[in-house]
Chain A
């Protein structure tokens, strides 16, 4: 894949661990000197993507696993979320129209808003591998108190 693999963590798909996934993304992004706004966007994107897996791919079963990889490049950070559920048909994952005010259906819209690229790996043999890419608006120097 190239670049630097910063972290790969494997967890159960317990929604109580979403805060851990968000925390890992924020922490690694902060370590890499990424602007706080970009780090928060990535944390929100992984939360929504993992929530989708828990609710839809795994159907709220909590006995399955999720794996998260974080890759940091000079110009971007990539998050890869892996599950072992049934294949997701990318065409079926569409954000709902915003004018349709109702509970639910915003997760995919948020993911597409928070990252620059969002795609499933086509040839992943079992389960799904979703890659989210965020290009940095800028990096901040350590100790910079006012990113963005």
Chain B
């Protein structure tokens, strides 16, 4: 899995590409923690190229959500599909995260959410 970092105005976007499992989730975790601690006002995780995520990947996203509350970072996900959307719903976490359908919607709405991840 690759994680690419880019900026859209003051929003940091992490483009995840590939499967997120026990092997790759530490890389996502490290990148997410770095960006949260870097003082970024908003961090979005682009899941549109993630075709598989397991419980370790979900745990990483939950950890990011918890850290966002400490660092007052607006935090959200977009582009969820297939397996990734299914497992979040199965774990009843789809209402815990701020989830947007795509990047334009995420960029439009991320500034309007409270800086604790939820809508």
Contact = CB atoms under 8 A, between A and B. Distances in A.
In which size bucket is the chain A interface?
20 to 34
A110 B90 contact: yes
Contacts, number: 60
Nearest to B1: A19
A18 to B, nearest CB: 5
A19 B22 contact: no
Contacts of B63: 103
Interface in B51-85: 52, 54-56, 58-60, 62-63, 66, 83
Interface residues of B, number: 21
Nearest to B26: A15
Nearest to A104: B59
Contacts of B59: 103-106
A15 B23 contact: yes
Contact of B54 (A47, A102, A105, A113): A47
B21 to A, nearest CB: 5
B21 A110 contact: no
Interface stretch (A48-56, A63-71, A78-86, A138-146): A48-56
Given A101-B96, A106-B55, A51 B62 contact: no
Contacts of A105: 59
